[in-house]
Amino acid sequence: MDHDHDYMHEHGIPHDHHNHDAAHPHMGGADHEHSHDGGHSHAHAHEHSHPHTHADGVTHTHPHEHVHEHPHGHDHAHGGCPGAAGCNSDCRSCDMDPRAEIVALMQYMVNHNAAHANELAQLAGRLKEVGDATACEQVMQAVSDFEKGNMRLSTVLAALNVPK
C-alpha cells in the first residue's frame, strides 16, 4: 500500500537533524538547504519515508512531505562552512567562500605532502648512511609512489583553481 500525504506533525522517528551539512538527502530523495545558528527554532519541509506497521499487521513504507519545527541548542557551521565553532555570523553576512577554503586546504596539503616527501627522501639517505641500502631503496620507492599521488592531487587542484 502506497500513499502520499502532506501534514504537520511531530514524530518520534529518530532521524538526525543535529549533525548535517547544509544540503543533505533524506530517504525520499528531497535535498534541502538551510542555515541556522545555535539556540533557535526553525521550520523546514522535507520529504522522507517512514516504515510503519498498521493494526492489521501490515508494514509498509511510504514517502511523504511534512513540515516540522524543531529547536536547536547548539553551535555549528553550515553550508559546508568549516569555520570556527564560535563563529557568530548568521552565514548570510559571512563572506566566506567554502570552495576557496577547500582549495586553500588542498593547496596546503599538496605543499605539505611535497615537504614530507622531501623529509622521507632525507630519511632514506640516512638509512643508506647507516648501511641499510635495501631499506633506503624501499623508502625511495615509497617516496616515488607518494609523489605520484601528490601529482594526482596537484592535477585536481589545478582543475579546482579554474574559475567556474
Partner 1 sequence: MCLSTVYKIEKRPENEVLKNVMLIECADGVVTLTDIMGREEKIEGEIASADLTGGTVVVRPRACA
User: Which residues form the interface with partner 1 (CB under 8 A)?
Assistant: 74-75, 82-86, 96, 100-101, 104-105, 108, 112
CB-wise, 23 or 84, nearer to partner 1?
84
| Cell representation of residue 141 | 620507492
Residue 96 CB, nearest distance to partner 1 (Å)? 7
Residue 93 CB, nearest distance to partner 1 (Å)? 14
CB-wise, 22 or 96, nearer to partner 1?
96
72 SS3 class: strand
CB-wise, 4 or 75, nearer to partner 1?
75
Residue 163 CB, nearest distance to partner 1 (Å)? 18
Residue 101 CB, nearest distance to partner 1 (Å)? 5
CB-wise, 21 or 108, nearer to partner 1?
108
Neighbour-count burial of 68, counting CB atoms closer than 10 A to its CB (0-12 exposed, 13-18 middle, 19+ buried):
middle
CA distances from 50 to 43, 70, 149 (A): 19, 18, 43
Burial track 145-159 (b if 16+ CB lie within 10 A, e otherwise)? ebbeebeeebeebee
